[in-house]
Structure formats: C-alpha cells, structure tokens
Structure 1
C-alpha cells in the first residue's frame, strides 16, 4: 500500500507580539522580514528564517541614533518599513516613514531609505525620499531602474481620504525623485483607506499589493495589475480583498481610517488581517506575510498588538494572486512549503531566559522614546547583572529608564531579581507591564512614606492617571527581592520572595490590565487608541539626582500559550 505523505502545517502567528506591517524577502535560501517599531528603539526589527515557520530576531536597521523618538505620541514613530534586495548591486534596502505628527489628521511624515551590503549591517545613513505621505516601498525593476511607491496623504476638504497611491522613479545612486509622481489608484475595492503599496513583477505584469480598510477589523490585502509600472491598474476581478479576516462586503470609501468594530468576525481567532508582503520559495511556492491580531476572548481588545502571520498563495490561470484554499479568509494555519516538508515550529523560541553573562545587552530588549546607551544601561559595571540607572518617571516621553520585551502570549509569567538602594522617595526600581507613557503597571522597590525603610508597592498608570496602591506594601529589609508577574487573559497577579529558598508570596492579584491594549489606550485624537502592543519591562526611576541604579541578576519570560 502506498504511503501517504502529510504536509507540515505552519501555525499563526509566525512572529507573535508586536510585529506589524511585515515586509518579507528571500535572498538565496534565507528569508528576512522587517516590522514596524513606532516609539520603540532600536528601530525596525529584522527577523531571519530558513523555513518560513521559525523566526529569530537578528537585529535592527536603525540602532545608531538615526532617529530621535523623544516626545513621540502614540501611535506615531517609525512606520511600515519595506525591505528589498537589489540583485544588480547586491544591496539590501530598507525604506521607512518617520511619522512625527498626527494631530489634526495632518500626518506629517518624512520617509527615508537605508542600504547595506549585509542584512546584519552596518546600514548607511538615511537617504531622504519624500514627505508626501507614508508607507514607502522600493521596487528594483529588471531593467535596472528603481521606483518608489507610497501613499500621498490627502488633507483637502471634500477629497477622498486618505489619498492616492503614487509611484515615481527614483535615483538610488544620487538620491532624488526622477520626473513626476504618478497617481495610480485610491484602492482596488470599496473598503477605502488604501496604504502600504508594494510593487512586484510576475509574468509580464506589474502587481500592486496594498493594505486597505484601515488598521482595524476591516483590514485587508488588495491587489491590482498593469502592463506599465505607472498604470493604469486593473483591480482584482473579485472586487474584494484577497486576504482579510472579515470577508463580508464593506463600503467605506472616504473613511481615512477606523476600527470598524462592526466587522469583527466571531468565527475566527485571527482578526485584522491585512498589510501583506509577497515572497516565493526556491521551489516556487508563494506566500503572503501579513499582520493580524488576537483579541482577548469575548472582547475587541488586542493587548499583543498586531502580529505577523503567513498565508499560502497561488496564481490563478488568468494570472491573479489568490489564497491557496480558494477563499480570502485568513487562517490560523497554513500549509508549509514543499521546500521544507518536515519543518516543525519551536513554540518555545519566544521564551526568554537572560542571565546577563556577556558584556552585551540582549537584543530583544527595546526602550521607549530614547536610545539605549551605556551610560544608563549596561552589563559591564557589575558583571552578571543588567544595571539600569534611574531617570524620568515612566510618564515621561523623553528619558524613561525602561528595558522591555514584547509580550508574545495572552498567558505568560515574567520574573526577575533585583537589588536597589533608594535614598529618596522619588527613586524606584522594579518590574511591570507597559504600553506607552500613559499606560503601564509597575511593582517597585521604593522608600516607605516615612523615608526610613524600603518597601515593595504597586503603581499604575491608566489613561494618564496615576494610582499608587499605598495599602498593599511589604517591607524589604535587605533591598533585594525577586518579583514575578503572571499575565493571564488581561489580568495580572504579582508575587514576590525575599529569599530564593522561600515560597512565593502573593502581593496582589487579578489586576485588570485589559486597557493595556490597542483599543484600550488613549492615543492621538481621531485614532481608536494605538496599534503597537504590550511589553514586559524592568526599569528604574530617579527624579532626585539621576544617580541611583538597580542591578537585575536575571530576567525570564515563560509563555504558557503560543500555538494558534
């Protein structure tokens, strides 16, 4: 009897936690993927894979002071990086937008590109592209010419928002746009909110892949094609997105962006699917990497932000890209490529176990608003420890001393041990959850109100309001404590122990932190909130002399659920 071969399955998300706006490429047998980072530094995460199923963070494209994110309001910052490879010059290129202002729906954004001979850098200094809008993408044509596509942001009253997708030729050697911008479309369906345009070439056609429907529950991937790079572009004959979480028809032209909560699909765990990027395997299998979200059960709240998923695609007989299963509904699983029939996902790969044994700060740590520099965070002054010098309060959008990692599950435990010697009531150090400067939870060592001994106490920020739990505190005699925070479906339980041989003691439990989600925070007026994601952090505050420091001897994150 002939044996039956079962194709491996890839479970979504392939990159859990804040990994939105994925841009994917393949160079040889290696896959690379870049994602947005908003107000977080280093900026622009770059992941690597050899099988499309397992991904590792390899570094950042903007990690040497190329951008200043101090004062960035949620959800501005570094948006929609686009990764490309020019085979002629053998250079990697990365285009990105720095969204600086969203007030008044003006959306002031400067776009740049950087290049490198290696995906691991060093990357060039930023090359200015344009300020016409946001979400730039570079296309390297086979005749040696280069093009940039981007959303031209519309600010005129009475015109279709958010604007046109535009394309121009660009000089990547000397910099600068060649000729005029060409307005090619305002979208390929009635969902509107066309953005994130990316050009591809296949069988004699230029294909324009765009995001549409807004960053919420109506999000989708649309496609059109043309014989000339400047169009005219013919929409996909279905008149609908080729990938979405909510396939029902929507007419939303003129809506610049919205959550579209009415489009939340109760029949799928994968929501907000859209903003896709196309890649092929060596054997000719095609996939789209796209963003998605996983709401807390029974809610429309998405703590983990927008994550990266994968869908297998095919080309129809008449040359249109479509999902391999014939639908346009994003799935929680997708068939693995023929190239890697035995691939298995390592669901523990996003767990963290840092003992700080090297002189390098682990790469998965990110910082809001400010750069990571050795003068305030390092592993060298006390080997085997991460030393963090206290700075502004965590309400600050300038210099908070926070080292954070992306939350990658809705059920996990984060743990650390620290030593800290406060001499003033404004000096604190500890562990917590963080979305932005207005929204966080912090269990910290600090002085008692009498200023004569150290205690453990919980501080919370919700929509910019400060709440200090002064009735739940524990004396800490030797200024050393282990902290444990269990996050479970939007609720936090905090435990501690003063001796590593002792049992964990409960400090407080079931704190409602569901507001630490894209829809629960207070972002820019006119936005639904944010679209970044929840982080876990260790950090310190010193609003006294900026001289105190905390030493953290380990930091671990154990995810209890990741798959599906």
Structure 2
C-alpha cells in the first residue's frame, strides 16, 4: 500500500483549505504579513504538491505595518459547480491589540484557479476564518467565528452562519449562532460546511493553534442547525488525544498538551475533500518542533489524513483513532512517492521571471525595487530589516530543519548604512543577516553579521571579514536551530567561517515576541537575500544565484 508522507507541504503552509475540481486538487494556505498573499498549491495525486500561484498579487491588500502574526488569515477555497466559478474567502486581520481582533473578510472569484481573480467583495467584520458553501439549490452560505469582546461571555465566541450575498456583498437576513464548540477544548474557530447523505456537517478547529489543537465536527438537518456534536465528545483529529477542558480560554499555546511520543504536533484546522473514487481525506495543519523543545521554526505545515464515514454517519480517521500520523494511506491506484526535491530552491535568474516561491514581508514586489537585469537579480535597498514598511527582502519558506542557503552578491556601497547579503528571517524583530557593507571608517568593504532578537540589535563587529573585491559568495548552514555562516571570494576557494555558531532556535513560532502561555507567532522561518539603503534609497545589489538545498551542507 502506498503511503502519503507528511507534511505534504513543508514550511509555512498553515490553515489548508483543500478542494478537488475534476482530476485536480488545490490547497490554499495563509500568508500573514507576506506578499504575494495566499498561496495556492496543486496536485494530481494528493502525494506531490507544487506551488501554482498566489491570489493577492495586484494591490488588493495593504500589509505595511502588520504586527506578527496578523495579516492574511485562513483563506477558504470552494467551487460553485452551478456557475463554474472558483471562490476564495479570506480575512485581513488588522489589529490584535486588546484582544479586539479587528478583521475584515472578503471573497473573490475566478473562472480559472490561476486567475484573473475578481476584485475583493466585502463580506463582514464580525470575526475571522470565513468559509463559503454553495448549495445545489443556488444559495450560498457564509460561516465564520463571531469574535466575542464582552466580559463574562465564553471566548472566543460563536460559530455563526448566514446566507451570503455574493453579488452585492455582505449577507442576506440575519446571522445564526449555531455553536460555541462540539468538545470541551474551547477556542473554536474556522467553521466549514459540508453536506453528506442529507446531513449538513460543520467542521471546526478547536483548542487554540498550539499543542492542544484539533479538528471537531457537528451535524444538522438544516444549514442553520441545530447542530448535534460528534458523540465521542473529542476531536476527530489531533496530535494530543488526551482530554482537555479549556472552555473560555480565548487562545493559548497549551504546552501541557505536548505529545512526547509524536513527531507531529499541533494537528488541527482541517478541511475535507473527496477523491474521484469516493475516498475522503482531511488536509490539516501541523508542526514539527526542534528535538527536545517546544519551538517550531518551520511554523505550521500542511498534512493529510485519510478519513471514513462510519456506520453512524460520522467522520473518523481510517485507522479508527483520532491521533494524526506522519503517513496515511494514498488513494487507490496511486503509486507515486513524494519528490523531496520540490522543496529545494534554485534560481540563476537567467529566465524572464524569478522563482514563484519568492515572497516579501509587508510590501509588494514590483519593478521599482526588484527585477532581473543581465541574468542577475537586482535588489534596490530601502529600509532596515527592522522595518514593517519597505524592507527589500526576497525570501523563501524554510522547509527543513537541516539545510544550506547559498548566494553570490556583488555590491558597491558608498555609505555605511548600505548593505546587501543573505540571512534567516522570521519578522521585523527577529532575524540573522550576513552582509557586505563598508567598515565604520568607510574605507574598505567587509562582510559582517547583524542579528535581531526580540527587537534588540546585536552587531558582531569583531567578526568582520575584509572583502578583496566587490563580491562574495555567502553560505548559511542551518541545523536544528543552529546557524553557521561562511563566505568565499572565488569559486574554487575554501569556505571561510564567519563568527560563531549562532543559536537561532528563537526564530520560531514560540521564540518570538509572545505573551506568557501563548505562542508569539504562527508564520514560520524564511531564508532571504536582500539589501538595505538608509542613505538615499538608490543603491542596488546584484545576486548571481539563490540556492536552498535541504539536508545538504
């Protein structure tokens, strides 16, 4: 029997929403403060997945100034067979201060999954994690979490459903409060409607997006309920199956729910898909901590579990348990194995466009600051890496806990605030950067290292290496939360180690600026090349290639 190996999409690929249209499977995932927004992955076999496109890439959203981990949350893909349209619902989380969670939800549609997509259609500001269900009678329903802000009421709030007005925006009629959850895990969110054998099923995430995370389910004969809970009283998928009572807890890391016997942690927030042969799978998020820790550098990744409908009409995992596994049976007739090379990245910039995997925090990629010129990627410097406005960063998701990043950069700075190089990046407060720049006396070019940890700057001024020309190759080896930086100035030279072994384990969801008991972020580690110019914003760095190889040094 062929097994699907998890995660099917490693690195930052959380909140997966999966659909099948014909023979093609698609998954949409969250992107938070990263542009282009909303990743769409494609597969023919549920085993191998490629990044196909991004949806928000034409100025539909402004992410400048976004605090971690706000931004674009929980996109939901659906397909309206009656009208032949792909629909994507998403929320833009704008503010999380005071636990107000101000969010606006929108929907977009397209005839083709690669676009062009419509302009965003406003839906609601009642909460977050919207999803659309298209009934065969032509009605469309919107389900979402209604965020609770009143004192003394169960947080985070109700799962609510209303008929959606997809022509004019908003809803028709009233919201129907249908549940505050189907288990005692609390923190219910991400409701999604499915229909099977005459029942409406409401799939939801619960337990917070930490170690107590899970997927739970209820059902009703009418779309507005009343919904009865799964009689087990427990999640149908989780990585920590022991009972948890956490009603009223708006969100928490639940570190006490860490499962020491599982590689996979935080399994939850899932969506359901049916194969052409009427087999069923749930795509869900998961995390893989650094060994011996509860730190997750890769953020939340996407996995699959095979599920079945039992005799009582409830979904359960195919093996009869509710413990998420690192592998699951592939659909009948599928013999393909996962191609790990898809996770590597290489671009020598000899084409017309750079690699689709490149993303940028806070602002958009455009020709005013990045582009291919004479088989090199030119990056024009702007704000420092502490900026939440315009950092000139081209980054790709880290997809392994053991990899190497390598590039060659040519740079001619004229001011000490101009730099160019490569590094590791979580957000504006947390990164490691090896760059070419002028020394303090502005007399010679050096390669130096700067680190940001919880918003504090650490400059390793005693570890600078003089650069004999105006270019250098930079290599960063990452292994289980430790980074080593190397440089060389000719292709056949030995690599020179720069500085110490750097502890970068804090570049993880739990290691960044969070409150006690909660995770600080849920985005993930990125590798990047970039440039800074806090002088005149007019210098540019040239990169010959960009390479990330997993499992290699």
**Residue of structure 1 equivalent to 2:50:** 56
| Contact 1:75/1:523, CA 8 A, preserved across alignment | no
Q: Does 1:361 align with 2:354?
A: yes
SS state at 2:256 partner? helix
Q: Using the alignment, how far apart are the partners of 2:338 and 2:169 within structure 1?
A: 42
**Residue of structure 2 equivalent to 1:510:** 501
SS state at 1:73 partner? coil
Q: Does 1:455 align with 2:446?
A: yes
Point out the more displaced range, 165-174 or 223-232.
Answer: 165-174
Which of 102, 105, 111 is the equivalent residue of 1:117?
111
**Residue of structure 1 equivalent to 2:123:** 129
Q: Where in structure 2 are the equivalents of 1:245-394 lying within 5 Å?
A: 245-340=239-334, 342-379=335-372, 382-394=373-385
Q: Where in structure 2 are the equivalents of 1:463-474 lying within 5 Å?
A: 463-474=454-465
Q: Using the alignment, how far apart are the partners of 1:171 and 1:151 within structure 2?
A: 18
Q: Using the alignment, how far apart are the partners of 1:339 and 1:401 within structure 2?
A: 46
SS state at 1:471 partner? helix
Which of 178, 193, 218 is the equivalent residue of 2:187?
193
Q: Using the alignment, how far apart are the partners of 1:215 and 1:423 within structure 2?
A: 46
**Residue of structure 2 equivalent to 1:410:** 401
| Contact 1:33/1:83, CA 8 A, preserved across alignment | yes
**Residue of structure 2 equivalent to 1:82:** 76
SS state at 2:78 partner? strand
| Contact 1:271/1:292, CA 8 A, preserved across alignment | yes
Instruction: Please give the per-residue CA displacement for 1:22-57, whole angstroms capped at 9, x wherever unaligned.
Output: 000000000000000000000000000000010000
| Contact 2:347/2:354, CA 8 A, preserved across alignment | no
Which of 31, 37, 40 is the equivalent residue of 1:46?
40
Q: Using the alignment, how far apart are the partners of 1:363 and 1:296 within structure 2?
A: 28
Q: Using the alignment, how far apart are the partners of 1:89 and 1:142 within structure 2?
A: 11
Q: Where in structure 2 are the equivalents of 1:29-44 lying within 5 Å?
A: 29-44=23-38
Q: Does 1:423 align with 2:414?
A: yes
Instruction: Please give the per-residue CA displacement for 1:239-280, whole angstroms capped at 9, x wherever unaligned.
Output: 000000000001000000000000000000000000000001
SS state at 1:225 partner? strand
Q: Using the alignment, how far apart are the partners of 1:273 and 1:442 within structure 2?
A: 32
Q: Using the alignment, how far apart are the partners of 2:263 and 2:515 within structure 1?
A: 28
> How far 1:174 moved relative to its partner?
2.7
Compared CA separation, residues 418 and 298, structure 1 to 2 (3 A): same
Q: Using the alignment, how far apart are the partners of 1:332 and 1:178 within structure 2?
A: 42
Q: Using the alignment, how far apart are the partners of 1:15 and 1:192 within structure 2?
A: 27
Point out the more displaced range, 524-533 or 108-117.
Answer: 524-533
| Contact 1:304/1:409, CA 8 A, preserved across alignment | yes
> How far 1:339 moved relative to its partner?
3.9
> How far 1:176 moved relative to its partner?
2.5
Instruction: Please give the per-residue CA displacement for 1:303-357, whole angstroms capped at 9, x wherever unaligned.
Output: 00000000000000110000000000000110100142x1111011110111111
> How far 1:432 moved relative to its partner?
0.1
Post-superposition, which runs of at least 4 consecutive aligned residues in structure 1 deviate over 2 A?
173-176, 523-528
> How far 1:163 moved relative to its partner?
0.1
Compared CA separation, residues 96 and 317, structure 1 to 2 (3 A): same
Q: Using the alignment, how far apart are the partners of 2:354 and 2:405 within structure 1?
A: 18
| Contact 2:17/2:77, CA 8 A, preserved across alignment | yes
| Contact 1:74/1:523, CA 8 A, preserved across alignment | no
Instruction: Please give the per-residue CA displacement for 1:196-230, whole angstroms capped at 9, x wherever unaligned.
Output: 00000000000000000001000000000000000
> How far 1:524 moved relative to its partner?
7.2
> How far 1:525 moved relative to its partner?
8.8
| Contact 1:75/1:524, CA 8 A, preserved across alignment | no
| Contact 1:283/1:339, CA 8 A, preserved across alignment | no
Which of 139, 158, 162 is the equivalent residue of 2:156?
162
SS state at 1:24 partner? strand
Compared CA separation, residues 76 and 525, structure 1 to 2 (3 A): farther
Q: Does 1:239 align with 2:230?
A: no
**Residue of structure 2 equivalent to 1:4:** none
SS state at 1:147 partner? strand
Point out the more displaced range, 520-529 or 405-414.
Answer: 520-529
> How far 1:523 moved relative to its partner?
4.3
> How far 1:506 moved relative to its partner?
1.1
Instruction: Please give the per-residue CA displacement for 1:430-484, whole angstroms capped at 9, x wherever unaligned.
Output: 0000000000000000001110110000000000000100000111121100000
Q: Using the alignment, how far apart are the partners of 2:550 and 2:117 within structure 1?
A: 33
Q: Using the alignment, how far apart are the partners of 1:524 and 1:239 within structure 2?
A: 30
SS state at 1:349 partner? helix
| Contact 1:359/1:383, CA 8 A, preserved across alignment | no
> How far 1:527 moved relative to its partner?
4.5
- Cα RMSD between the aligned structures? 1.0
SS state at 2:343 partner? coil
Q: Using the alignment, how far apart are the partners of 2:306 and 2:412 within structure 1?
A: 54
